[in-house]
Amino acid sequence: MTPIKIAIIGFGKIADDQHVPSINSNPRFELVATSSRSGQGIAKTFTDWRELVRTVDGLQAVAITTPPGPRYEIARECLDAGLHCLLEKPPTAGLAQISDLACLGEARQLTVYTTWHAQHHSTVAAAAQTLAGKRVKSMQILWHEDVHKWHPGQQWIWGPGGFGVFDPGINAFSIATKIFPGGLFVESAELSVPENAQTPIAADIVFSSPQADGPLTASLDWRRTEGEEWTIALETADGTSLRLEGGGSKLMLDGKMQEDDGIGEYPDIYRHFVDLIDERRSDVDVAPFRLVADCLLIGRTSKVEAVES
Amino acid sequence: MTPIKIAIIGFGKIADDQHVPSINSNPRFELVATSSRSGQGIAKTFTDWRELVRTVDGLQAVAITTPPGPRYEIARECLDAGLHCLLEKPPTAGLAQISDLACLGEARQLTVYTTWHAQHHSTVAAAAQTLAGKRVKSMQILWHEDVHKWHPGQQWIWGPGGFGVFDPGINAFSIATKIFPGGLFVESAELSVPENAQTPIAADIVFSSPQADGPLTASLDWRRTEGEEWTIALETADGTSLRLEGGGSKLMLDGKMQEDDGIGEYPDIYRHFVDLIDERRSDVDVAPFRLVADCLLIGRTSKVEAVES
């Protein structure tokens, strides 16, 4: 079978670390080009993504790994050029844009794929399977990390559209919406925004669900220099106790620890992309993004200490 | 034909002023009950909406006109009870909830109808028809009113989830998304939030669209004690000039003024509700709500003078 010719638009750290090795290890893909404004990249490199789309012979698919801002425009033109589109998370700057891309993909019978890497641990699939059909007694999400360690010197995270602590928090939401056995809604949210920032450095969220009887909460905090953790703990009404740790890569189920024994997050993303392309289907999951929007629609904002830049 | 037995849940000013007369003037409906916590209402009145749903004989449909907060729970239980649901704007507190109700309605083959009253002027339909398929040169939305005149003493508008100036602004968005001949996306938003409030008193929004070549803007302002206006002006690339005034009720097209000559906003809402029920279809339009969420996701907030309470 001839491999699917794919290009990466927006060649940066995540492309280099994750997308390139995952594409190269999948025999159904051939990485033929990359683009980045700086000109760095591998295979045939471009500084202008439009030139890439226009000139690469036989191109069939693109992975768009730029910052979210320009993704809609890029994806739209790629769909117009007949290319299947994979989008890094969050898929676009706003919710209206990804909805429009979904319609375009359907109209042109091309794949639009919103990826949420944290959903691709085998342990997350196991958790979802365990919880299916059950009533939930409680859920506690703790997503605590040190922003200065993970985003050194990055100012965009604090500006309009920068997401703040929802940048990691949306990974938690992507797991929660995948495993939770029913609707999950924002009941209230307390957002802590530094005096010199537009986006929250911490968020305390209370969820509600018709499928749950007890407290459902999330604590997202970017101020934890010690004791970082990325855990989701759930108890069900029938006594099942489950705990995802390490951002979803470990599952503690009734006292026994399982490690992710799948092919890895990004390899699994590309495995699924092949299936979607073969079946001419899209996979547009806006649930994690919508929960962030609902936090902003419903939340109460408090100003907190300025963040060091 | 036996009329559809309908109840109003959340009997307040909007129900009394608009829903009751519109239902009463439509021979396809019979208003059989209302509920409100205070016990005010007409026909058979309840203080507990659950009792209404449980006990009213032969009930087929409900209009949910409570504040947005409890609407999801009410609509969900009404759908579980086999009732068609009409929802005042905005349909729910958050975007995840309305998406869930749409799925539930489809699963149960019941109508879920998100109403946006400002879309129901005949002049808005005429504007949409005029613009269909055209390229846009510019759009300017001016939605300027005096909050103290329209919401005297109402504190909830300033609290979390209270929407602020997006409460009237979403009417403008509901017209814009209806008439604009293509996707409409938030490019940037400047939100002015009073020092003692959680929600904006004014918002300046820049939109983008692949269907437009020039500036697309909205100015929402709740501080206009004089010169109130609710207008949307559009110019197309082929020279058409169009202006909706009075919240959509008047259309100036190429220099000629048309008045709304339809049956009125709410009567038209109920006319459409009959069609949906007859055809067992839903009409769930989240576009206006999604634009508000995108303003919050992408916007820059500035603190402004405290608002008088």
Q: What pLDDT digit, counting tens, does each position of B12-71 carry?
A: 999 999 999 999 999 999 999 999 999 999 999 999 999 999 999 999 999 999 999 999
CA distance A185 to chain B (A): 6
- Whether residue A274 is contained in a domain is answered as no
User: Out of A97, A184, A293, whose CB is closest to B185?
Assistant: A97
Last residue of a domain, one of A114, A147, A164: A114
Last residue of a domain, one of B73, B98, B114: B114
Residues of A in contact with B185 (CB under 8 A): 72, 93-94, 96-97, 100
Subunit contact A185:B72, Cβ cutoff 8 A: yes
- Whether residue B95 is contained in a domain is answered as yes
Instruction: For residue A227, count CB atoms less than 10 angstroms from its CB and return exposed for 0-12, middle for 13-18, buried for 19 or more.
Output: exposed
By annotation, the residues of B acting in catalysis are 89
Residues B68, B105, single domain; the answer is: yes
Last residue of a domain, one of B55, B84, B114: B114
Residues B65, B197, single domain; the answer is: no
Q: What is the mean pLDDT of residues A70-98?
A: 98
Domain count, chain A: 2
- Whether residue A214 is contained in a domain is answered as yes
Integer Cα distance of A305 and B237 in angstroms: 49
Residues B100, B154, single domain; the answer is: no
Among A72, A87, A84, CA closest to A288:
A87
- Whether residue B285 is contained in a domain is answered as no
Sign of the Cα torsion B169, A190, B76, B284 reads positive
Sign of the Cα torsion B100, B102, B108, B111 reads positive
Q: What is the CATH number of the domain that holds B207?
A: 3.30.360.10
Q: How far is CA A234 from the centre of its chain?
A: 21
Q: Which of A5, A44, A89, A250 is catalytic?
A: A89
Q: What is the mean pLDDT of residues B133-147?
A: 98
Residues B296, B162, single domain; the answer is: yes
Q: What is the CATH number of the domain that holds B67?
A: 3.40.50.720
Residues of B in contact with A291 (CB under 8 A): 96
Residues B49, B136, single domain; the answer is: no
- Whether residue A284 is contained in a domain is answered as no
Residues B84, B158, single domain; the answer is: no
- Whether residue A205 is contained in a domain is answered as yes
Residues A126, A239, single domain; the answer is: yes
- Whether residue B269 is contained in a domain is answered as no
Q: Give the ipTM of the model, two decimals please.
A: 0.96
Would you say B227 and B219 are in contact if contact means Cβ atoms under 8 Å apart?
no
Question: How would residue B309 be classed by pLDDT, with cut points 50, 70 and 90?
Answer: low
- Whether residue A55 is contained in a domain is answered as yes
Residues A90, A172, single domain; the answer is: no
How close are the terminal C-alpha atoms of chain A, in Å? Answer: 51
CA distance B219 to chain A (A): 18
Question: How would residue B130 be classed by pLDDT, with cut points 50, 70 and 90?
Answer: very high
Integer Cα distance of B208 and B212 in angstroms: 7
Q: How far is CA B80 from the centre of its chain?
A: 25
Per residue in A250-287, pLDDT (tens digit) is: 999 988 999 999 999 999 999 999 999 999 999 999 99
Residues B172, B108, single domain; the answer is: no
Residues A104, A162, single domain; the answer is: no
Is A46 strand, coil or helix?
strand
**Residue B69 gets which letter from DSSP?**
T
By residue range, what is the domain housing residue A25? 4-114
Residues of B in contact with A297 (CB under 8 A): 93-95, 161, 292-293, 296
Give the containing element (helix H, strand E) for B123: helix B122-131
Give the containing element (helix H, strand E) for B207: strand B202-208
Active site residue A89: yes
Integer Cα distance of A35 and A53 in angstroms: 10
Residues B182, B104, single domain; the answer is: no
Residues A92, A18, single domain; the answer is: yes
